[in-house]
Chains A and B, each alone.
Chain A
Amino acid sequence: MLIRKPDDILSSEITPEAVWRSRRELMLRAGLVAAAAGLPGWAARSAFAQDAGALPGKPNPAFSVMDKQTPLSDITSYNNFYEFGLDKSDPAANAGKLQTRPWTVSVEGEVGKPRTFSIEELLKLAPMEERVYRLRCVEGWSMVIPWMGYSLAELLKQVEPTGNAKYVEFVTVVQRENMRGVRSGVLDWPYVEGLRIDEAMNPLSMLVFGVYGKLLPGQNGAPVRLAVPWKYGFKSAKSLVKIRLVEKPPVSSWMKAAPQEYGFYANVNPNVPHPRWSQATERRIGEDGLFSPKRKTLMFNGYGEQVASLYQGMDLKANY
């Protein structure tokens, strides 16, 4: 378990803000110099081209892993966001068209106080935190990402879920003119995902607005997305527009498209293979080179301490 509790981390171990800020600035400058020098690699990457606004947040070491962080250029150039195309490079190429202002998220269903939040309200709803989460894609690769945001529970508390709110359904945006991928029949649009209410209320479930101290770029799910780090990446729906609290388990887009391959839970589990490949190992993007073997995938992506209790007594082979 690599997550440390706040009490066993020495304050001397935490890099002072001034230091990491100046490091980042240095890195950014180095990037700009390299870009100006016309190095083809930099030119091809969109990380510095799409410089979204700053989004500062207080590092939350209790919710941060110590793994080496994946470079921003990889996080923003290697994405699954089918609304913008099926190739990993398509979202970075096409998500610039996504209109993120004005933006609202309506929270409705089995709640006492249904409400539509503007993105400006959401950005101020709770203190912004930086949490370094692992992301394990169902395809067998992983990243380590410093997300900016706060616990999803902060938002859900605002609308006062009723006793009937057993599940939460997440609906994402469809902008037909701006998303060329929605013309394809791969999935039913809009993309829908779901969590059980106790999963959604777990403090690890995060509402994300930024990455690496900046607002999210389109390809990463701007302006607001989920990060549910103990589940495969596709559970962390991007560009949210609606959150519905419901009594019955929602049917996600992937469950509809391939029910034999994708279940409701989609917890990271090295012991339950995907019907077409093993989930026992993974490749860490930006870190594992051509000569390093794949690394072992951890149960619940290494977040067992926080979430294993949610599934006590459940057969995780049947509830995949």
Chain B
Amino acid sequence: MEAGISQAPPRRTQLSAKTVGRFKPVLFLLGLAPFLRWFWLGANDGLTANPVEFLTRSSGTWTLVCLLVTLAITPLRRLTGQPALVRLRRMCGLFAFFYGAMHFMAWVWWDRGFDPAAMLRDIGERPFITVGFAAFVLMTALAATSTQWAMRRLGKRWQSLHRAVYAIGLLAILHYWWHKAGKNDFEAPLIYAAVLALLLGWRVVERWRRRA
């Protein structure tokens, strides 16, 4: 997929991989901002009356945001004619994993109290936990194979494996949707679902166009 997309005609000056690489430190700080905000809020009595709930939900929200940003890179490269933007994609994905790991740990620690039996029971009994856990397992696999070395090692299989990000997106939305179902409160999940639909829909249309 990557190679095919770079065939877009150079309508304007194309940024070089090196130039795009210079944005990495900025992106890194940007990605870290939600994490640093938690500490700022903690020091300023801003984590609400239920900090555990706040941090659990906030980490979940930022996982989803980072995931959608990661999925937006490819359409963005295509629409702007800047294929070098791919150089930012891994960091976005790793931030999604970072916040996902925080979200997972919030559950392990605050919700389940590090009790493996309680965790297994929860995964088996609560469908929204089941899908959330599945998404996290897949994310871990993608994060573990995100190095240059793994890319070389896996060759063609790397791309097939990393297409799992689409499934992760769908599972994450389902997880959020079911979480909110208790209050019939679908406003926020609907917005995230619409963005995901747009990003995945664009890919379907692109593929279909290229075939035609």
Interface residues of A (CB under 8 A from B): 39-42, 44, 73-74, 77-78, 82, 86, 88-89, 141, 184-186, 257-258, 261, 276-278, 281, 283, 285-286, 289-290, 293-294
Contacts and interface: CB of A to CB of B under 8 A. Distances in A.
Interface string B191-212: 0000000000000000000000
B20 to A, nearest CB: 38
Contacts of B184: 184-186, 257
A290 B46 contact: no
B177 to A, nearest CB: 13
Given A86-B185, A185-B184, A276-B126, A77 B113 contact: no
Contacts of A82: 183
B124 interface: no
Given A41-B46, A290-B55, 16 more contacts: A41-B44, A77-B48, A77-B49, A86-B183, A86-B185, A88-B49, A89-B48, A141-B53, A184-B184, A184-B185, A186-B185, A276-B182, A278-B122, A286-B49, A289-B51, A294-B113
Interface in B46-92: 46, 48-53, 55
Interface of B: 44-46, 48-53, 55, 110, 113, 118, 122, 126, 128, 182-185
A44 B45 CA distance: 9
A73 to B, nearest CB: 8
Nearest to A283: B52
Nearest to A80: B183
B161 to A, nearest CB: 32
Contacts of B52: 283, 290
Main secondary structure of the interface of B (DSSP, over half): loop
Contacts of A185: 184
Contacts of A294: 110, 113
A285 B183 CA distance: 21
Given A41-B44, A276-B128, A290 B110 contact: yes
The 6 closest A-B pairs by CB, nearest first: A41-B45, A78-B49, A74-B49, A186-B184, A40-B44, A86-B185
Given A185-B184, A276-B128, A290 B50 contact: no
A285 B50 CA distance: 6
Nearest to B118: A278
B113 A39 contact: no
Contacts of A257: 184
A277 B126 contact: yes
21 contacts: A41-B44, A41-B45, A44-B46, A73-B49, A77-B49, A86-B183, A88-B48, A88-B53, A141-B50, A184-B184, A186-B185, A261-B182, A276-B128, A277-B126, A278-B118, A283-B52, A283-B110, A286-B49, A289-B51, A290-B52, A290-B55
A286 B45 CA distance: 11
Contacts of A86: 183, 185
Contacts of B113: 281, 293-294
Q: Among A186, A257, A276, A281, which residue has the most Cβ atoms of chain B within 10 A? A: A276
Contacts of B44: 39-41
A44 B52 CA distance: 19
Contacts of A293: 113
Contacts of B50: 78, 88, 141, 283, 285
A249 B126 CA distance: 31
Contacts of A39: 44-45
A41 B42 CA distance: 10
Contacts of A41: 44-46
Contacts of A42: 45
Contacts of A78: 48-50
Contact of B49 (A184, A285, A289, A290): A285
A272 to B, nearest CB: 14
A226 to B, nearest CB: 21
A48 to B, nearest CB: 14
Nearest to A71: B49
